[in-house]
Structure 1
Amino acid sequence: MMEAMREQEDVIRPGRLLVATPVLEDPNFRRSVVLVVDHDPEEATLGVVLNRPTEVAVGQILPGWAELADRPDVVFQGGPVGLDSALALARLPGTGEPLGWRALEGVPALARVGLVDLDGPPEALAEEFAGFRVFAGYAGWGADQLRSELAEGTWYVLAAEPEDVFTADPERLWQAVLRRQGGDLAFVATYPEDPSLN
């Protein structure tokens, strides 16, 4: 068990997914798919929940950025921490790195996905983006807290794909990510919302 936990800790890095297992009942994270955006094994891990769209349009809080937002063009609840702050992720199609954009490090599949400086002028980046999403708040764990949750079997640590970040169907992302893993995890994707109805 300790070996498996160490292996999971070793693969946690920016650009990976923390996918909630069916045992996770915390309403903040039940059936959530979290993209890791920063990880220091001795300090903390930060991420954003990719599958919690709100009903708030991007234009209501960031009018200049509204036209860049992917569908659904709403703000997503990135997690329970710092709900009064926003961060954004964008995908770039080319090879350049425009001012105001910083790549997520560590995972080649997401090499062109990065964080956006929302204090910059949106018009300077508008033609650069192939995908854009805004998150209110974030998810955060202290080093020991995440280790403990991994040991309890609360999270699967899985590879991310750019489509996960900018999916047009966030409500089905949990099932989609698990299904593409094949084997036992594909079976977990069929786990009912309410197991008592089984």
Structure 2
Amino acid sequence: MTVSIRNIQPKFQPPQRGGFLISEPYLNDYHFRRTVVLVSDHSDAGAVGFVLNRLIDLQTDDVIPGLMKYNFPLFFGGPVEPNTLHFIHKVGELITGAHHIANGIYWGGDIEMIDDLIDKKIASKDEFRFFSGYSGWAAGQLEEEIEQKAWWVSNGNVKRVFDDDLENMWRVIVKDLGRNFSHMADAPEDRSWN
């Protein structure tokens, strides 16, 4: 019996702030192939998120020299406004203007406070993740893409947001979806290799 990827889908759940969008294994959009996107905001107006498993070969100081004392690795957040800098963190309201995403994960705030928090050992560098650009969807667009099975939705485990094993993040989170998905985590990069 052959099982099509298109027929596999977790019980439908709408994406929620703090949840993950997991691209199906053969998504044709190179921006999102085998990616995990953290949904940082979702409403009737649309959705915003950041790709968690695409590190780019730049540091924050490469894009905005002198912005901060500390330099951070830069991730590809998504194809929207690639010249903008965004960050998520675990230090909460210690950063003025931070927006709560879910379960101890925050988005943005006063970037100038980061150096001071690290200097005073209130925070560490590994509690921050910086992104070039973001992933964005207009009203109804994300739901349509989910219906077309481009994305699997997981509204669980935000502990994985700061995982360091970027190469295996997609695979691990697909396995987190449950037994029906575990075989998909090891699907070959090219469908014809099956």
- CA distance change for structure 1 residues 68 and 100 in 2, over 3 Å: closer, same or farther? farther
Counterpart contact for 2:22–2:153, Cα < 8 Å: yes
State the superposition RMSD in angstroms: 2.4
1:86 aligns with 2:110: no
Counterpart contact for 1:39–1:46, Cα < 8 Å: yes
Deviation at 1:101, TM superposition (A): 5.4
Which of 114, 122, 127 is the matching residue for 1:128?
A: 122
Counterpart Cα distance in 2 of 1:161 and 1:101: 25
Counterpart Cα distance in 2 of 1:66 and 1:162: 28
1:149 aligns with 2:145: yes
1:100 aligns with 2:96: yes
Deviation at 1:6, TM superposition (A): 9.6
Letter matched to residue 158 of structure 1: S
1:112 aligns with 2:114: no
**What SS does structure 2 have at the residue aligned with 1:189?**
helix
TM-score by length of 1: 0.80
Which of 145, 157, 161 is the matching residue for 1:161?
A: 157
Q: Give per-residue Cα distances to partners, 1:98-130, cap 9 Å, x unaligned.
A: 13352434x4xxx21111325423223323335
- CA distance change for structure 1 residues 37 and 14 in 2, over 3 Å: closer, same or farther? same
Q: Hey, what does 1:44 align to over in structure 2?
A: 46
Counterpart Cα distance in 1 of 2:24 and 2:160: 17
1:171 aligns with 2:171: no
Deviation at 1:164, TM superposition (A): 2.5
Counterpart Cα distance in 2 of 1:66 and 1:75: 15
TM-score by length of 2: 0.82
Q: Give per-residue Cα distances to partners, 1:161-192, cap 9 Å, x unaligned.
A: 34432222212110011123330111110111
Q: Hey, what does 2:186 align to over in structure 1?
A: 190
Counterpart contact for 1:50–1:164, Cα < 8 Å: no
Q: Give per-residue Cα distances to partners, 1:14-63, cap 9 Å, x unaligned.
A: 100000012421111111100000111x2110000001110002332354
Shift >6 Å, 4+ stretches = none
Counterpart contact for 1:178–1:188, Cα < 8 Å: yes
Question: Structure 2 stretches of 5 or more lacking a match?
Answer: 1-8
Aligned length: 181
**What SS does structure 1 have at the residue aligned with 2:180?**
helix
State the identity %.
Answer: 29
1:26 aligns with 2:29: yes
Counterpart contact for 2:10–2:177, Cα < 8 Å: no
Counterpart contact for 1:18–1:157, Cα < 8 Å: yes
Letter matched to residue 52 of structure 1: R
**What SS does structure 2 have at the residue aligned with 1:146?**
helix
